[in-house]
Structure 1
Amino acid sequence: MFSGYLDKRVTVTKTQKVFDGRGGWTNKPVTIGQFWASIEPLGITQIAQYSAMDISVSTQIYMRYNTDIVKNCVINFRGKSYIVQDVVNPAYEDEYMELVVVESGTPVENTPALVTESEKVTFAGKATGDGDESRKIYFGVTYD
């Protein structure tokens, strides 16, 4: 890959434990830096391959090799955030790396149904204690 392909400026952050100033620690996003990258949408065959592995990947990012960029780092570009799922070092040359990313905010498959505030919820079929056994349980959520 030629460096001329790295034509997008991205910001990379990751969550680190930092001192909170009160004698404790807290987790905060810390900026690693700004880097040049190539951001490409995946083709339909590549999307199908990743979906077979239950990963909803639609974008691929190439960057110069950097050991600070690891899984769960966040790549920010033009108002979108991408979470790094995997880092691939092609041919172990330590020259460029391929980041397999998922866009932040992308819905995850196999999540339970959304529950509104007006619905009482119990999980794993546990009774609420009011003696009414006529409720139906769907996806582990009890609806009144």
Structure 2
Amino acid sequence: MSKEELQVNFRMPASLKAELERAAKESGRSLTAEVVARLNLSMLTEDDSGESLIPAKQAQEMSAIARQSIPATMKKRILQAINQAVAMGHGSAKADFTDLQLDSIPQADMDQLFEAFSEMLSDAGYRYEWDGPENLWIDFDEL
């Protein structure tokens, strides 16, 4: 440990630690490196100065970490769209992903997302149609 690195002890829920350990293993990093990378990412979005240029390798790593949250965000929006439509008495729903700018992520990742959510909806008996990466139309009226 260098003089610039400090050891910090803190408590966290066991489930969060397990999730971080899983993410660290997937990314090939130690738990400490995973936590530091994720904290750096959260600080990057709060940096209003825009005066510091991060190295390209670090940008690549941080981008990969941020991409890991996209499936959970999409699932949450799909569920919210369906629940809101049901509560309003509608027979269809629209999940909007425009702000996620999904067309900017690698095509293989996009294909994997589309496949996973298509399977989830099909298994639950919904009809659906992707309108590019921005919108998902879900129909459950007159099945």
- TM-score normalised to the size of structure 1? 0.20
**Which structure would you say has the larger Rg?**
1
